[in-house]
């Protein structure tokens, strides 16, 4: 007889019972916290450090795992791509992510999690940027652009993001001014129709 055994109860039964009990207590405690409304979902109050760390880790690992099979086009440096991306970026992204020489918008100041200022550069690969833009990010304000934009246009934006950290305000302004005029115009260009669902 060792210190774990009781008459008639085998050691592994005792351990299983303790595990089940701990799970029940944890689930009961978590449901109590949720039903009491104890967790503050307000966007003007930051998460605690462990929750913030956990959410970032989940986001980073999720995007990295899913971007692994994304095939990066070889012409990302093509100035035509970058120019189209500039027009799309100023129209669709700068309201939240800002741009060189741009004042902080009201929406950018109210977001939580904050939208990163993409002109400062991002430590993720082009494939990961593509995935995040196409699919968006749950529980944040980052929308999925895939339902309304085909892969070609999304890669144009990635091409532009690669250049963005090197742009001065004047350079940015000039690029946006010279970008193809209409978003619609690009969407209707030959070969741009339809969504060729690659992840
Ligand atoms: C309504 C606000 C909003 C708009 C518009 C928006 N984003 Fe975001 N974006 C966010 C927020 C908020 C995050 C941060 C999400 C997080 O931290 O989990 C984010 C994150 C990202 C990331 C980073 C993902 C990572 O792993 O760090 C990229 C890249 C990105 N957005 C690109 C874009 C592009 C390109 C556009 C325009 C097509 C765009 N976003 C439009 C709010 C927005």
Contacts of 94 (CB under 8 A, 6+ apart): 102
Q: Is the pLDDT of residue 169 over 50?
A: yes
Query: For residue 6, how far is its CA from the centre of ligand 1 (angstroms)?
Result: 58
Q: Left (φ > 0), alpha (ψ -120 to 50) or beta: where does 23 sit?
A: alpha
Rounded average pLDDT over 166-182: 92
Strand partners, 13: none
Q: What is the residue with the minimal CA distance to atom 43 of ligand 1?
A: 142
What was the pLDDT predicted at 193? 43
pLDDT tens by residue, 113-142: 999 999 999 999 999 999 999 999 999 999
| 3-state SS track over the chain | CCCCCECCECHHHHHHHHHHHHHHHHHHHHHHHHHCCCCCCCCCCCCCHHHHHHHHHHHHHHHHHHHCCCCCCCCCCCHHHHHHHHHHHHHHCHHHHCCCCCCCCHHHHHCCCCCCCHHHCCCCCHHHHHHHHHHCCCCCCCCCCCCCCCHHHHHHHHHHHHHHHHCCHHHHHHHHHHCCCCHHHHHCCCCCCCCCCCC
Please return the burial class of 118, using the count of CB atoms within 10 Å of its CB with bins 0-12, 13-18 and 19+: buried
User: Could you read off the pLDDT of 68-81 as tens digits, one per residue?
Assistant: 999 999 999 999 99
Q: Is the CB of 64 under 6 A from ligand 1?
A: no
- Average pLDDT of span 45-51: 95
- Ligand 1 in reach of 111 Cβ (< 6 A): yes
Residue 144 near ligand 1, beta carbon < 6 Å: no
Q: Which residues, including other chains, have CB under 8 Å from residue 179's CB and lie 6 or more apart?
A: 83, 84, 86, 87, 88, 90
Verify whether ligand 1 is closer than 6 Å to residue 157 (CB atom): yes
Model pTM score: 0.85
Percentage of the residues of the chain whose pLDDT score is greater than 70: 86
Instruction: Assess whether pLDDT exceeds 60 at residue 89.
Output: yes
Per-residue pLDDT at 10: 81
Q: Which pLDDT value is given to residue 189?
A: 54
Task: Write the CA distances from 145 to 56, 151, 177, integer angstroms.
Answer: 21, 10, 23
pLDDT at 143 over 80: yes
For the chain, the first-to-last Cα distance in angstroms comes to 59
75 CA to middle of ligand 1, Å? 23
């Amino acid at each position: 007889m060792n210190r774990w055994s009781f008459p008639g109860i085998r050691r592994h039964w005792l351990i299983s019972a303790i595990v089940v009990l701990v799970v029940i207590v944890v689930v009961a405690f978590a449901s109590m916290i949720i039903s009491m409304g104890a967790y503050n979902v307000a966007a003007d109050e930051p998460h605690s450090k462990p929750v913030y760390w956990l959410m970032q880790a989940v986001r980073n690992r999720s995007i990295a795992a899913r971007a692994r099979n994304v095939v990066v086009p070889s012409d990302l440096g093509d100035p035509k791509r970058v120019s189209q991306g500039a027009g799309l970026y100023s129209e669709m992204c700068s309201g939240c992510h800002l741009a060189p020489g741009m004042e902080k918008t009201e929406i950018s100041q109210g977001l939580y999690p904050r939208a990163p200022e993409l002109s400062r550069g991002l430590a993720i690969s082009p494939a990961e940027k593509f995935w995040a833009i196409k699919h968006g990010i749950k529980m944040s304000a980052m929308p999925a652009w895939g339902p309304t934009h085909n892969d070609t246009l999304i890669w144009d934006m990635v091409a532009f993001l690669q250049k963005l950290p090197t742009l001065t305000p004047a350079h940015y302004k000039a690029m946006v001014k010279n970008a193809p005029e209409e978003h619609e115009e690009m969407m209707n260009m030959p070969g741009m129709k339809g969504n060729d669902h690659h992840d």
